[in-house]
Structure 1
C-alpha cells in the first residue's frame, strides 16, 4: 500500500536573489488550514534559481501571535527571498506545511506564491483518534494517516489500542494478553513494543504527540478473558494494570509521551465495575510515579480524589468537569457522519463552544470509531469520511470557528445567498482543490454540493402505509390539497445530502412526524450523457450494527420503500450484497450499504434540464430521515464532479 507523501520541501534553499524580477500575477493557492493573518502579493519565488536562499530561523518571540506561540510562525515570500521564522522547531515545521501548499507550476518551473503570513493555532490540542482495538490497522496504514495529520498541522495522534475484541499492544510481562485465544477479531494481531516505539518516533519526527489509550474498566472483554478475571473488581486486577501502565510508560519518556489515556467510559455491566481503589491507584501511578498527564473520558467513572485529570468529552451528555481541563470530541465521530452533511457539521462546529482555547479549553480530537468488523483494514478509510474530515477539522481546530451559530448548521447548510453559505463555499473550493491535488487514488468522498438545491414537500400523513401514492407523483404543482390539508413546497434547501430531521436532535428542516416527503430539483446538462450518481436514503453508521432497522430487500433503496425518478423514469435500487440483513449484525462487515462506498447508480441525463423527484416515506421509528442525490464521476476511490452541470429547484416544468 503506497502512502501519501507529505515530506518537507527538501530542495528549497533560501537565499536572496541577486537581481529582482517582475512576476506575473498567479491565482492564490488553496490553503488548509487558512492562516490567521494572510496578505497575498503578485510576486513569486523561483524555486529553481540557484542564487535563491530560504531562511529558516528561530526567534525569541512572535509579537503578533495571540495564542500558542510555541507553534506560531511568520512567513514572507517575495521574488527575492523566503523567510520563515518561529520560536521553536515545531513552529518552523508548521510553517513548512504552509510553504508546501504555496507551490505552483508554470511553464515547467516551480514557484512559491508571494505572501506575508502570521499564523498560530486557535487550540493547543488538535488531534485525531483511531480505534485499533476493534479493528487492527497495519503500520503502513497508520503512517499514511499520520503523514496527512502532519501536513494539516495536527499535533496529536490518539491511539486507542485496547478494546473488547483485542488488547493490541504487546506485553512482555503478560504475554497472554496477545494470544489469539483472547481475541474475537483479527486474532493474534498486535503491535510489538518495537512497532509502538517506531510509531511514537514517526509521530515525533512530524511534531505530533502520540497519546496511547488503555480503555478500562469497561471495554475490557479481551483483558478479562486473557487474564482469567470474571470481574474488574477482582483484587488481582489492580496490580496487573499497574504493571501494564509501568510497561507502557517504559516505552517512551514523559517528554515524548506526556499523556496516558485510561478510558473509564461506558461501564454498563456489573462485571465491568472496578474496585473502589483501582482508578485512584492508576491516577496516582500515572501522575505521581510517572509524571504524566492522565486523560479520561467524560461521561465516565468517578475517580475519588481526582483534581488533575484531563477529561475528554464524548457525547451530548459530556459536560466539562468544573476546574478540569478538557478536550472536545462530542460532535465529530466520523463513523456516524454522512460525508456531505458531516463536512458541514465539522466546519461549523465550535470546539469547546468557543472561538479559541484557554486555560481549561485545550482543544479537540476528531474520532474514528469503526465499531463494526471489516473485511479489509483499509475499509476503515473507505467506509468513513476520514480524509475530508481530517482536512475540515484541521481548519476548525487551527483557525477556530469565530461565529457562534449554535446548532443551526450542524446538519444543514446555511440558506441560499447567505454570508455563511458563501463562507462555507469558499472553504469547499479549497477542500476540493486539495482532494484533486493531494488525494488522487485515495478515498476522499466529497464533491461540491453548495451549487445543489432542493424543494421539499411534506410530511404528508400516510397512516403507517409507506407504499401509499400521492398526487405529487403524477403532476408537479405549487400546492396540493390532500385529505383537506394543504401542502406547499418549501425551500430551496442547499446540499447534496439533506437531513429532514436529524437523529441526534440537531435543528434540520422539519418536525419529527410520520409521513411521506417529496424532494425535487432540476439538473441542467450541456449534452446527453450517462453518469454516475450517489443516491441514498439512509446513512448507515459504521457502528453497533446497522442502526435504523433491517437492511432493505432487493428492489428497495431502504426499508421504508423510498423511490427516485429521473425525467419520470424510476431509478432502480442496487442489487444488494446482503439484502434483508438484520440490524444487530456488528460482526458482518459492510460492503455496499452506503452510497459513497458502493458503485454509483447509473443515470442518463438528456441535454438541457432534467427533473429529479424523490419520495422519502418516514415512520415513527425511522432513525435517519434524509436523502442524497448527487451526480458524480467515480473511478474506484477517486471521485469528482460531473463537469458543467447546473442545478435549480425552480418548480417550472420547462426552463
Structure 2
C-alpha cells in the first residue's frame, strides 16, 4: 500500500490517453519523509494522469503503481482515481537467490527480477559462489568454472557477458545487483579448482585479490556499488583464513575499488574494519553498535511454510523499527534452497518465492508501524483484532494480484484468515505414537484420560497452525511431546469433490530433510498422524520417494510438502463436514505443525474453494 493515498470515485479512461498522461521531474515533493530519490506523487482524475518525481527512479516506481491501478470494465480499460504521495520506509529492499548451490538460467533469473521490479524492490543479491560451484566466469583462473570443480550442475556458470547482461537488466529496472563471493567458508569448489588444501594457504590471498579486481572490472562503482564477501559459517579448520586475508580484501574492495563491503553477521571478524555493512542472519545476528546493517534474520524462504510463512513476513518488523535511518538500511528476503533440485524451476515451486516477494515488497516499502515483537511470527492475531483485520485486507490484495499477474507461475497461497481450529493435547502416550484416545470415537468438549482432564483450546486461525515453533517464536503450546488433536467444521454449499492441502511437520528445503526420515507409503509423516473426514479415515498419498533418510541433500525433493504435490482429493457433503486430525509429536519433531486447506486448481494456480465456511465449534 502507498504511504499516503486518497481514493476518488472518478476513473481515468485509458482509451486515447496519450495527450492527458503527464510525467515529469520536479525539484521537490512535499510531505515525503524518507528516501526522496525513490518517491513519487500520482494524481489520477477523470481528466488526466499526472506522475511526478524528483528522479527517474521515482518515476519508475510510480509507473509500477499505475500498472497496478489498471482495471477493465465493459471491455474498456481504466485507471482508478486517486491522489498518492509515496516513498519507501527503507533504502534497501531486496531479494537474494543462491545460484552457487543450484544454477539458475538467465531466463529464470530475469523472470524473478521482473517481479521484483513490478513490486518496487531495489536490490538483487546474487549469491554466486558456494561449495557446489563457483558460478561466475574467471578469465584469469578458468579452472574455477570447470565441471571437475563442481558437485552439482557441473560446468554450469555465468559468463562475464551473462553477468554484464544481468547487471544491465537490473539497472534498467532500477535494481542494484550485489554480487557475493562467499569466502572463506563455503569455499569447497574454490579450493578444489585451485588445488588449495586450506584457506590459510599463502597463495589464496593473491588469487582472491585477482578475482575481486576482475569482478570490479565488469561494472563501474556507480552501477555496482556493493561487493559481498560472505565470511559466515567458517566451521572447519580448512576454512580458517590467514590473519591477513580478510583485512586485505576489505582494503581492496573499499580503498582500491571504492565500493561498499558487505559481510554476514555472525561471521568472521575483520581486524581494523570500521566501514563494512553487516548483513544479519539467524537469531544470533545482532547489529554491531555504530555499524550500518541489513536485516535477513526472519525471512529465509527455504524454512517457511507458504501460509504461516507469509504471515511471519507480514508481521516481521524489519530492523526492529518502523522505518530505516542512517544505520538501519533495510532488509533482503533470502531463498537458500540448500538441497539439490531435479529442475531449476523447482526452486520457485518448492519455496514460496512469489508470495514472499509480494509480502516483503509491501512491508519493506511501508514498514511495520507498531512494535508487536515476536508475538505473531508463528500465529495469527485474535479474531476481531485490528491486526488480524489488517492482515486479512492484505491477503485480499495479494490474492487479487495472484489472480491478475501470476497465472501459470507458482504462487502457493490462498486466503486463510477465515479458517479456524480447536486443538486438544498433548495427551501422554508413553512414547507410543499409535496410541488411540477417546477423541477418535466422538467429539465432545472435555475428556478424562488417566485421571487427567483435557479441554479443547482455541479457536486458532489459519490454514497452517504451529503448535510450537522451531525457532522458538511465541505459539500456542509448550514444546512437549505427546499426541495432539485438531478439529474444524467446513460448511459446503453443495456436495462436491475438492482438492486439499494436507501436511504435517513440513520439511525445510535446507539441510537434507531436517526433522527426520521421510515416511513410508501409507503414512502422512514419520510421526504417524491421521486424518478423518466425517468419521472416515483418509488414506495417505503414495510417495515418490518413501523412507528417505534425513541427511539426503543430494536427492532432490519431489512431493514431500503439501504445496508442491498434487492436492489430496476429498469429498464434501452439502452442509457441515467434520475434520479431525491426529498429530503425534515426538521429542525430536522439529516442525510441530499441521495444515488442512481446501483448494481448487485453475490452470495451474491454486485458488480458494468458493462458498466454504469454517467453524471451530464442537457440533
Shorter chain as denominator, the TM-score bin is over 0.9
Cα distance in 2 for partners of 1:390, 1:174 equals: 36
- Residue 327 of structure 1 contacts residue 365 of structure 1 at CA under 8 Å; is this kept in 2? yes
Cα distance in 1 for partners of 2:211, 2:143 equals: 13
Correspondence for 2:21: 54
> Are residue 349 (structure 1) and residue 316 (structure 2) matched?
yes
Cα distance in 2 for partners of 1:627, 1:399 equals: 31
- SS of 2:81's equivalent? strand
Correspondence for 1:140: 107
**Cα deviations across residues 421-465 of structure 1 (Å, max 9, x unaligned)?**
101000000000000000011000000100100000001111110
> Are residue 173 (structure 1) and residue 137 (structure 2) matched?
no
CA-CA distance at 1:593 after TM superposition: 0.1
Correspondence for 2:158: 191
> Are residue 126 (structure 1) and residue 102 (structure 2) matched?
no
Correspondence for 2:306: 339
Correspondence for 2:566: 599
Cα distance in 1 for partners of 2:513, 2:174 equals: 38
**Cα deviations across residues 398-436 of structure 1 (Å, max 9, x unaligned)?**
000011111010011111121111010000000000000
- Residue 420 of structure 2 contacts residue 615 of structure 2 at CA under 8 Å; is this kept in 1? yes
- SS of 1:43's equivalent? coil
Correspondence for 1:537: 504
Correspondence for 2:265: 298
- Residue 297 of structure 1 contacts residue 313 of structure 1 at CA under 8 Å; is this kept in 2? yes
Correspondences of 1:500-649 after superposition (within 5 Å): 500-635=467-602, 637-649=604-616
Correspondences of 1:406-485 after superposition (within 5 Å): 406-485=373-452
Cα distance, 1:51–1:277 mapped onto 2, change above 3 Å: closer
Correspondence for 2:215: 248
- SS of 1:420's equivalent? helix
Work out which of the residue numbers 131, 137, 141 in structure 2 matches 1:164: 131
**Cα deviations across residues 24-77 of structure 1 (Å, max 9, x unaligned)?**
xxxxxxxxxx00000000111111125742111111111210000000100000
Cα distance in 2 for partners of 1:78, 1:600 equals: 45
TM-score, scaled relative to structure 2: 0.99
**Cα deviations across residues 164-197 of structure 1 (Å, max 9, x unaligned)?**
0000000000000000000000000000000000
Cα distance in 2 for partners of 1:637, 1:104 equals: 23
CA-CA distance at 1:107 after TM superposition: 1.4
Cα distance in 1 for partners of 2:259, 2:18 equals: 48
Cα distance in 2 for partners of 1:260, 1:333 equals: 21
**Cα deviations across residues 317-342 of structure 1 (Å, max 9, x unaligned)?**
00001111000000000000000000
- Residue 44 of structure 1 contacts residue 77 of structure 1 at CA under 8 Å; is this kept in 2? yes
CA-CA distance at 1:255 after TM superposition: 0.1
Correspondence for 1:11: none
Cα distance in 1 for partners of 2:156, 2:61 equals: 34
Cα distance in 1 for partners of 2:118, 2:209 equals: 36
- SS of 1:257's equivalent? coil
**Cα deviations across residues 594-617 of structure 1 (Å, max 9, x unaligned)?**
000001111000000000000001
- SS of 2:8's equivalent? strand
Correspondence for 1:270: 237
**Cα deviations across residues 465-505 of structure 1 (Å, max 9, x unaligned)?**
00000000001110111111111000000000000000111
Correspondence for 1:373: 340
Cα distance, 1:582–1:51 mapped onto 2, change above 3 Å: closer
- SS of 2:66's equivalent? helix
CA-CA distance at 1:636 after TM superposition: 6.5
Aligned length: 619
Cα distance, 1:437–1:636 mapped onto 2, change above 3 Å: closer
- Residue 38 of structure 2 contacts residue 57 of structure 2 at CA under 8 Å; is this kept in 1? yes
Correspondence for 1:229: 196
Cα distance in 2 for partners of 1:304, 1:422 equals: 49
- Residue 36 of structure 2 contacts residue 87 of structure 2 at CA under 8 Å; is this kept in 1? yes
Which stretch shows the higher mean deviation, 386-395 or 414-423? 414-423
Cα distance in 1 for partners of 2:180, 2:364 equals: 22
Greater than 4 Å deviation, 4+ residue runs: none
- SS of 2:80's equivalent? strand
Cα distance in 1 for partners of 2:74, 2:179 equals: 47
- SS of 2:157's equivalent? coil
CA-CA distance at 1:536 after TM superposition: 0.3
CA-CA distance at 1:208 after TM superposition: 0.2
Cα distance in 2 for partners of 1:339, 1:637 equals: 17
Correspondence for 2:206: 239
CA-CA distance at 1:634 after TM superposition: 2.2
Cα distance, 1:50–1:210 mapped onto 2, change above 3 Å: closer
> Are residue 395 (structure 1) and residue 362 (structure 2) matched?
yes
- SS of 1:421's equivalent? helix
Cα distance in 1 for partners of 2:430, 2:410 equals: 42
CA-CA distance at 1:637 after TM superposition: 3.5
Cα distance in 1 for partners of 2:71, 2:571 equals: 37
CA-CA distance at 1:514 after TM superposition: 1.0
Cα distance in 2 for partners of 1:149, 1:214 equals: 22
Correspondence for 2:288: 321
Cα distance in 1 for partners of 2:591, 2:507 equals: 9
Correspondence for 1:26: none
Cα distance in 1 for partners of 2:502, 2:18 equals: 55
Correspondence for 1:362: 329
**Cα deviations across residues 306-361 of structure 1 (Å, max 9, x unaligned)?**
00000000110000011110000000000000000000000000000000001100
Correspondence for 2:174: 207
- Residue 52 of structure 1 contacts residue 80 of structure 1 at CA under 8 Å; is this kept in 2? no
- SS of 1:42's equivalent? coil
Cα distance in 2 for partners of 1:634, 1:216 equals: 44
- Residue 422 of structure 2 contacts residue 486 of structure 2 at CA under 8 Å; is this kept in 1? yes
TM-score, scaled relative to structure 1: 0.94
- SS of 2:9's equivalent? strand
CA-CA distance at 1:385 after TM superposition: 0.2
